[in-house]
Amino acid sequence: MENTVINETVFSQLLVDVGEEMLPALVDVFNEETTERIADLKALMTNVDHDKVAQSCHSIKSSAGTYGALIVQQHAEELEVMAKSNSTAEVQVKLPLLIKSLEDAISALALKCD
């Protein structure tokens, strides 16, 4: 995984905040929840529900930022705006980018806790 997937400064601060013993459990929860969100997002790619996309992206945006997944956070923020603007075509183009960045973040975080 590239270092850019997870921002080291943010991740290091999280490690300080929660401690070395608690971090792997928190990352596991993030990874499980994110895997569920990916399935939900994939379903929304063909049948776009702007409200659901916006709500999901809002949640993803904040949790991704906590773990230093800044690319995920950026994609989620952009998608949230697109969904609130009812931009179906833009949402359908951007959703795969968010999903890929989420998958990359899950992998990168899992490696950091091994």
Q: Please name each of the domains of the chain with its CATH number.
A: 8-112 (1.20.120)
Tell me the percentage of the chain whose pLDDT exceeds 90. Answer: 90
Q: Is the pLDDT of residue 1 over 50?
A: no
Confidence of residue 101 (pLDDT cuts 50, 70, 90): very high
Per the structure block, which two tokens stand in for 75? Answer: 């994609």
Give the global pTM: 0.91
pLDDT digits (tens, 9 = 90+) for 24-51: 999 999 999 999 999 999 999 888 999 9
DSSP string of 47-85, one letter each residue: S--HHHHHHHHHHHHHHHHHHT-HHHHHHHHHHHHHHHT
